[in-house]
Structure 1
């Protein structure tokens, strides 16, 4: 039975969009009564909007190429800047309505300043912000940490999304920062590519530089399975996954697929386990019980699990205690504010804990903000992260 198509939601969105643009342009008319100003603004809006529609319509045949990226980013920047302009203008208009004053030029100038500032912030995020790597360090204390591992360090990165990279020099800066940490152990917590294994090929020589005394370990993320593109056949899709697993090995990463390894130091050990992707709404493939098979309840365990919803749903209350879980996936939505004591991103409405350390039930979770970027080709306020965790014995 064919599903009935409703035009109402599209009509409402179109009406809101037209209303938004009319309101913004009406505010700009305070600068000049020349009709060419309004005409020029409407032509710009039409050009950006039609480019977006055209690029979306040809995605199935042309893919998400350069034109698609330019069109979608131009629309995103314009829409966001207009929204901020209109909200600011609306506040001023409500005030003048109650005071009985005409529209104030200075208030429109302030709204215009915020419009321009928004555009520049987006441009910065797209040019520099997405490669503004930083190392974030945490020291975590445990009662049951083996004595030999007191001071043991782990460097974690996540969500490389190699298919989005376009700046080799910037990537090398990120790799150099990872190497500078000189950690005992290196882990990568999933999403090496956007969709296809071939995306990592130009960048393998970079990520192959990463070495740690106790090894390099990795897991898969939801994007690594090729679920978000159309394949000629299921065999092609599975061949892509096999190829990606091979790339992990060629870079010197031990890929953990629902399994664990023992990390020994001075005859003492910790358990490092890794599961296939398990995430609410993103495929629940991972098998934690299988990954921890033959481990003991008293073992000190570190788990690599791409999606933090796995920790919330299963790991934090798992009968065999998992002291530390390392995740990624959220990217911090690549947009937010972490300054002046504020920590906010729209992704919080999907993932209550979306970045950094969380402790519950005597167990820790770290959510890495991601090394790469996806969708929006930039980062604003949520910068790419290299996490360094030091394990300490609580005394």
Structure 2
């Protein structure tokens, strides 16, 4: 019996059929994977990339003065204006922000992708944003990559934003003060956190704008209540049970959402951004507008 079985297994005709079946099944699996990949890519490009999500969160800052309790801060980030995100698309974002009636508006870097012309076209749109306690912005690495960071700074100023390049601004309500600080881009600029905090009295409540989130480990060494960052895009592509696949430098530790950094447990919020870079695709990582309500 054993000899007969060996003869059957070694039969060239059966081996050929077996190989053909294996190849057919393999091609079906490969075709299925390619089909799933194409479907996911099409979804990520044509749908999710523009499917904005408004993230709402209440944050408690123990040092927040009474006059700022209930303050609504809106953060937007990483528009990457250019071929895949047009100035006219920004108009819809501005309209949504204004419907929220924010007290403070913060932009955390990368208004452009590779060229500045779309940003200058968008300045009148950004100027429509109004916030009684102020509008603030910092630059990101792509703003420097465009090579016209000085023009971008002036553009933000023309739109009514204070550009926080290693400095802070005091917001006063009644007898209370909240400080908004910001640092220059950590990858391509000249960030100086101690300089950004100069003049802030001890015990004050401080919110820091920093494009790259991983600078939080350094920021947590200072009396800062909250750091707002972008840069990571949340990974831009996330997989089930895996999470983000790839993130840029200085966005490896803090990638998406709320974290506590350092021994001081400074709060860090990382916004997924509005636009995309490298590939115009998002998957399980929708673009984000963040609405933060601050309390003591």
Which range, TM-score by smaller chain? 0.7 to 0.9
| Aligned residue number for residue 102 of structure 2 | 183
Per-residue deviation, 1:363:
1.1
> 1:191 & 1:143 partners in 2: Cα distance?
30
Per-residue deviation, 1:290:
0.8
The one of 243, 246, 252 equivalent to 1:347 is: 246
| Aligned residue number for residue 268 of structure 1 | 176
Per-residue deviation, 1:284:
5.9
> 1:130 & 1:356 partners in 2: Cα distance?
18
* Residues 73, 103 of structure 2: 8 Å contact kept: yes
In terms of fraction of residues, the more helix-rich structure is: 1
> 1:349 & 1:140 partners in 2: Cα distance?
27
Structure 2 unaligned residues grouped into runs of 5+: 1-17
CA-to-aligned-CA distance 1:169-188 (integer Å, 9 cap, x gap): 54333332222222210000
The one of 179, 189, 199 equivalent to 2:118 is: 199
The one of 384, 388, 392 equivalent to 2:287 is: 384
| Aligned residue number for residue 195 of structure 2 | 290
For the aligned residue pairs, the C-alpha RMSD in angstroms reads: 2.4
The one of 118, 128, 134 equivalent to 1:215 is: 134
* Residues 164, 377 of structure 1: 8 Å contact kept: no
1:115 equivalent to 2:40? Answer: no
| Aligned residue number for residue 25 of structure 1 | none
Per-residue deviation, 1:385:
0.8
Determine helix, strand or coil for the equivalent of 1:193: coil
| Aligned residue number for residue 260 of structure 2 | 359
* Residues 186, 215 of structure 1: 8 Å contact kept: yes
Determine helix, strand or coil for the equivalent of 1:191: coil
| Aligned residue number for residue 317 of structure 1 | 221
Structure 1 unaligned residues grouped into runs of 5+: 1-98, 230-236
- What's the TM-score once normalised by structure 2's chain length? 0.84
> 2:126 & 2:49 partners in 1: Cα distance?
18
* Residues 74, 291 of structure 2: 8 Å contact kept: yes
- What's the TM-score once normalised by structure 1's chain length? 0.64
> 1:165 & 1:100 partners in 2: Cα distance?
46
CA-to-aligned-CA distance 1:297-331 (integer Å, 9 cap, x gap): 2010000011112112x10122xx10000011111
| Aligned residue number for residue 158 of structure 1 | 77
Per-residue deviation, 1:191:
1.1
Q: Alpha carbons of 1:143 and 1:275: their partners in 2 closer, same or farther (altered >3 Å)?
A: same
Q: Alpha carbons of 1:123 and 1:309: their partners in 2 closer, same or farther (altered >3 Å)?
A: same
> 2:77 & 2:85 partners in 1: Cα distance?
18
The one of 59, 67, 71 equivalent to 1:148 is: 67
| Aligned residue number for residue 8 of structure 1 | none
> 1:105 & 1:224 partners in 2: Cα distance?
51
Per-residue deviation, 1:208:
2.4
Q: Alpha carbons of 1:273 and 1:349: their partners in 2 closer, same or farther (altered >3 Å)?
A: closer
> 1:316 & 1:154 partners in 2: Cα distance?
21
Q: How many residues align?
A: 275
Q: Alpha carbons of 1:167 and 1:258: their partners in 2 closer, same or farther (altered >3 Å)?
A: closer
Tell me: higher relative CO, structure 1 or 2? Use CA pairs within 8 A at least 6 residues apart: 2
In terms of fraction of residues, the more strand-rich structure is: 2
